[in-house]
Amino acid sequence: MSSAIPLNVGIVRSAGVDADAPKRVLLAEPRGYCAGVDRAVVTVEKALEKHGAPIYVRKEIVHNRHVVETLRDRGVIFVDETDEVPEGALVVFSAHGVSPAVHESAAERNLHTIDATCPLVTKVHQEAKRFARDDFDILLIGHEGHEEVEGTAGEAPDHVQLVDGPDAVDAITVRDENKVIWLSQTTLSVDETMETVHRLRAKFPNLQDPPSDDICYATSNRQTAVKAMAPACDLVIVVGSRNSSNSVRLVEVALTAGAGAAHLVDYAREVDPAWFDGVRTIGLTSGASVPEILVEGVLEMLAQHGFGDVQPVTTANETLVFSLPRELRSARS
């Protein structure tokens, strides 16, 4: 049996451990695949159906071990750079986006390309180009080395400075304090990003905001759901891969919001039963690149340890769907 628990209603963790309290799982909704990830994964699947294996994909199509391994088993070859793709072959660009230099490299090798960049990432790229044309200093809040950051910065390398968290603000300098704007990686912690923006604005009072939110709706929604249930949870389990920025952020958000403990796992087999000692309420969620089958595996494992009462915590309903890249639109069933 399951019953829905609305936001901030009826989910409270007692100060001490009540050995007689029923064991339960609070299941975050929304969780798992966002529209951009669904589009990217379906893009590769449809490309396989249309063109046959092998299909080349630059970087991981999305940051999830299970998805990548499943696609690799079907004939997808993941590469780091386009120069690893045979001339004239087909290559798919991942959901995280690529810089103009990557497009140019692919063209030089006569590669056929399908761009699976999430439309919300593309929006940030367009913002970077627009403000570079207007000669703004662009302060890009994000994590150094992340593919999305590299792609966005590559749109305007002479105008973009990376701001990797609040502590990086002190080192930032700009040419004209009246022409400064901040943009962000789409998968960041909302709270930490706002702290970074607060520090930037203290240093640059005329700092402009992006035309619309850069942190994607799915990242924000998943963090909101975790914040709603974390105070009631002795333990939060986040299903997701360690190279998934939004999944890692969910662990951080859970701990900050009051969870007794929080762990990130790719599969149910990685859950340590020792985590359950003294635990009566477990929160469960998954990152935006995680297929639901992995969450179901964790639920089955939890049920085997007495956590069979699953209570959804619903904070938003998501209905957004993105069209496939134009090369494959007729192929979507």
Give the per-residue pLDDT at 4: 40
For the question of whether the overall pTM of this predicted structure is more than 0.85, the answer is: yes
| Residue 148 is a catalytic residue | yes
Give the per-residue pLDDT at 329: 84
Give the per-residue pLDDT at 162: 98
First to last CA, the chain: 34
Give the per-residue pLDDT at 13: 53
Give the per-residue pLDDT at 9: 37
Q: Are 141 and 184 in contact (CB under 8 A)?
A: yes
> Residues in the chain with pLDDT < 70?
1-19, 330-333
Give the per-residue pLDDT at 295: 98
Give the per-residue pLDDT at 19: 64
pLDDT digits (tens, 9 = 90+) for 146-204: 999 999 999 999 999 999 999 999 999 999 999 999 999 999 999 999 999 999 999 99
Choosing from 45, 127, 147, 148, the catalytic residue is 148
Give the per-residue pLDDT at 6: 41
